[in-house]
Amino acid sequence: MTPHDPDPTSLSNELARERNREAADRTLLAWIRTSLAMISLGFGIERLGQAALSFEGRLSGFSPLKTQVFGASLIVLGMAATLAGMWEHRHMLTAIRRDDYRYADRPPIAHYMGWALVLVGAAALAAMLGM
């Protein structure tokens, strides 16, 4: 190895850091897409409630207030997912920049978001069935 040759372990580490950075960016984009879907669905549900007002007596048991609550719940959940994804991305980039980078277990944010969606869905189903 001559003095002008790059250190192969250093190059390998830098390439690994670049791959980890790109993976973190893709994960953030996935969070954003998921959040956008939840926010769009929440907005659509709320608009459905507004449209149903024009049908008044023809939709028995329908409550525009319920659609507003569940639409708003999905919008808030989508915003929370975006913030959680941004938080996770920032912490990952901070860890990657460190010279002593080691994997550290993190809270399973996606798991928590999944449970939140299950709860919103269960509440919507209970409201729909009149419970």
Q: Which two tokens stand for residue 70?
A: 């569940």
Q: Are 81 and 34 in contact (CB under 8 A)?
A: yes
Higher-pLDDT residue of 40 and 7 is 40
For residue 39, being part of any structural domain is answered with yes
Average pLDDT, the chain: 84
Distance CA 131, CA 123 (A): 9
pLDDT tier for residue 56 given thresholds of 50, 70 and 90: low
Instruction: Give the pLDDT score at 110.
Output: 85
Question: Exposed, middle or buried, 110 (CB in 10 Å: 0-12/13-18/19+)?
Answer: middle
Indicate whether 66 belongs to any domain.
yes
For range 43-72, the mean pLDDT: 78
* Rounded Cα distance, 71 and 59, in Å: 19
Residue with tokens 């007002």: 53
Encoding tokens for residue 106?
């993190």
Q: Give the pLDDT score at 49.
A: 81
Which domain covers residue 92, as residue numbers? Answer: 8-128
Dihedral sign, Cα of residue 79, residue 82, residue 84, residue 90? negative
In a domain, 3, yes or no: no
Joined tokens for residue 84? 């959680």
**Confidence tier at 58 by pLDDT (50, 70, 90):** low
Residue 28 counted as domain residue: yes
Q: Is residue 2 in some structural domain?
A: no
**End-to-end CA separation in angstroms for the chain:** 75
How many domains does the chain fold into? 1
Q: On the CB side of 99, how many CA atoms lie within 13 Å of its CA? A: 1
Q: Within a domain: residue 65?
A: yes
Query: The whole model's pTM is what?
Result: 0.77
Radius of gyration of the chain (CA): 23
pLDDT of 1 over the 60 cut: no
Q: Is residue 1 part of a domain?
A: no
Q: Is residue 25 part of a domain?
A: yes
